[in-house]
């Protein structure tokens, strides 16, 4: 597994990280997000949507009650929220398999609730730190995920300057 981590200092910086990520993402990518309530999962997802070219008039909110939202960008953005689900079979009922690894980017919030049976290219764990700071830990699970993290590392570092805290393993 290949990993990379960085920190953000505000919700807007979290969205900027997501926007860079979304700008690099390709169709078929599955991203599993985990983190406590209020960690910044939806903030990151909003940035991913911006990076995918989802129009600003299409608000990206947590699909906690509808369980899934579809947004149109340069590739479709399938945004799932598993907070209310308790069984992997519930995902089948949503048609998850029809979207995952298909013609768009699939992003799953609260993925740690369903770790069994979910394939992914990248997992992202978000940890709240002091104030608005967040630590992002990315793990690539396949070659596509590895390539994306390598590009993200270069672009995020360039956009943040040398003072940014980051680390990488095997990149």
In-domain check, residue 138: yes
In-domain check, residue 167: no
Query: What SS3 class is residue 98?
Result: helix
Nearest partner of 166 among 3, 1, 4, judged by Cα: 4
In-domain check, residue 63: yes
pLDDT, residue 25, reads: 95
Beta-carbon contacts of 52 under 8 Å, excluding residues fewer than 6 positions away, are: 22, 23, 25, 71, 73, 74, 75, 77, 105
- CB 124 within 8 Å of CB 137: yes
Distance CA 125, CA 83 (A): 15
In-domain check, residue 40: yes
pLDDT, residue 102, reads: 83
pLDDT, residue 107, reads: 93
In-domain check, residue 170: no
Residue 163: pLDDT band (50, 70, 90) is: very low
In-domain check, residue 169: no
In-domain check, residue 95: yes
CATH number of the domain to which 137 belongs: 3.40.50.300
Which residues constitute the domain of residue 141? 2-162
Percent with pLDDT over 90 in the chain? 60
| Higher-pLDDT residue of 85, 36 | 36
Residue 7 reports pLDDT greater than 50: yes
Number of domains in the chain: 1
Mean pLDDT of 108-125: 82
In-domain check, residue 171: no
- CB 119 within 8 Å of CB 148: no
Distance CA 84, CA 87 (A): 10
């Amino acid at each position: 597994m290949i990993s990379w981590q960085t920190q953000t200092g505000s919700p807007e910086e979290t969205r900027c990280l997501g926007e860079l990520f979304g700008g690099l993402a390709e169709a078929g990518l599955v991203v599993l997000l985990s983190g406590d309530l209020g960690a910044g999962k939806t903030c990151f997802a909003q940035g991913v949507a911006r990076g995918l070219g989802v129009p600003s008039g299409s608000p990206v909110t947590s699909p906690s009650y509808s369980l899934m939202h579809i947004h149109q960008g340069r590739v479709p953005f399938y945004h799932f929220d598993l907070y209310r689900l308790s069984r992997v079979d519930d995902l089948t009922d949503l048609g998850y398999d029809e979207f995952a690894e298909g013609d768009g980017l699939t992003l799953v919030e609260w993925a740690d609730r369903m770790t069994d049976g979910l394939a992914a290219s990248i997992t992202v764990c978000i940890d709240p730190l002091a104030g608005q700071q967040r630590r992002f830990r990315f793990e690539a699970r396949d070659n596509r995920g590895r390539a994306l993290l390598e590009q993200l590392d270069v672009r995020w570092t360039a956009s943040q300057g040398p003072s940014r805290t980051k680390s990488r393993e095997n990149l």
